[in-house]
Amino acid sequence: MRIIVHGQQAFGKSVLEALLDRGEDVIAVYCAPEKEGRPADAIKEAALARDIPVIQPKSYKDPEVWEECKALKPDLCVMAYVLLFVPEEFLHIPTHGTIQYHPSLLPMHRGPSSINWPIIQGSTKTGLSIFWPDNGLDEGPILMQKECEITPDDTLGTVYFDKLFPMGVEAMLESVDLVKAGKAPKDVQDLSKGSYESWAKASIAEVDWSKPAAEVHNLIRGTDPAPGAWTIIDGKKLGLFDCRRVEEAAGDAGTVVAVDDDGVTIAAGDGGGVRLGRVRPEGEGKIAGKDAGIAVGTKLGA
């Protein structure tokens, strides 16, 4: 089967290498165009190292891009982390169409920050979907899904790198096998039972210390490491990382109630609190909470 891999960064590279390592016929790699001042994408470097042609369109709405793809005579396109919109005119070019990885249990958490939001919203599970993309936003039929637990101390980073990343690579390989065998499902999503959320940007990551400790904890860990939760101290931003829930933290909401070797403990709005192992003062790198010079009694927040 003649396969195109369309992706970027570490996940795209891992999917490409996994397919090549088991002998799949990858005929081309599509990836995002270079950005000035940034190094070449990891998937591009991996493809060139194995003498695989790399194609980097600025847009997939261009008929010339479609014709270039048709000339490759692909059987399947495997999309592994793609941010540019790809219309159906391109998706349907391969004989068997296109399959795509999405790191949530569709139809829940359609959109670009699908790992952040389940954690921010306090979910105890998430997962991944391999689906057949169309012109909707993560709305195409489902081929395969896999679940994973979100533990109380999981962060965006641990859920992705420890769970959804390795699970996703394996799911991609399994899905290719199902397509080759003619046994790949196309289960239509019930969008009425799902959700769509946009980017989890820094603007949503400011902590409101009047909220219950559980909500504060979920926001901080759901944005750790990116975009990074934050608060205000002495008129400047303070990034918040390595968060743990504290059942009792007597003090006004947003008040630092303890500083020790484990970090900085701040009271929330319900009598509980959170402990921060690391913080990032504005304009600086991350440091241990105990080394940030934050005194007990300091009030955080705007």
| Burial 189-217, CB ≥16 within 10 A → b, else e | beeeebbbbeebeeebbebebebebebbb
Question: Where is the domain boundary, 161, 193, 225?
Answer: 193
Per-residue pLDDT in tens (0 to 9) along the chain, 302 residues: 999 999 999 999 999 999 999 999 999 999 999 888 888 899 999 999 999 999 999 999 999 999 999 999 999 999 999 999 999 999 999 999 999 999 999 999 999 999 999 999 999 999 999 999 999 999 999 999 999 999 999 999 999 999 999 999 999 999 999 999 999 999 999 999 999 999 999 999 999 999 999 999 999 999 999 999 999 999 999 999 999 999 999 999 999 999 999 999 999 999 999 999 999 999 999 999 999 999 999 999 98
Pick from 82, 85, 84: which is nearest to 100 by CA?
Answer: 82
| Burial 28-41, CB ≥16 within 10 A → b, else e | bbbbbeeeeeeeeb
Based on the domain organization, do 81 and 223 belong to the same domain?
Answer: no
Query: Which residue, chain included where needed, has tokens 């210390």?
Result: 209
Based on the domain organization, do 139 and 52 belong to the same domain?
Answer: yes
Backbone angles phi and psi of 29, in degrees to 5: -120, 130
pTM of the entire predicted model = 0.95
Q: Per-residue DSSP letters for 118-147?
A: HHHTT-SEEEEEEE---SSSS-SPEEEEEE
**Domain presence at residue 86:** yes
**Domain presence at residue 298:** no
Is the peptide bond between 103 and the residue preceding it cis, with omega within 30 degrees of 0?
Answer: no
Amino acid identity, position 9: Q
Question: Where is the domain boundary, 137, 165, 193?
Answer: 193
Based on the domain organization, do 188 and 208 belong to the same domain?
Answer: no
**Domain presence at residue 9:** yes
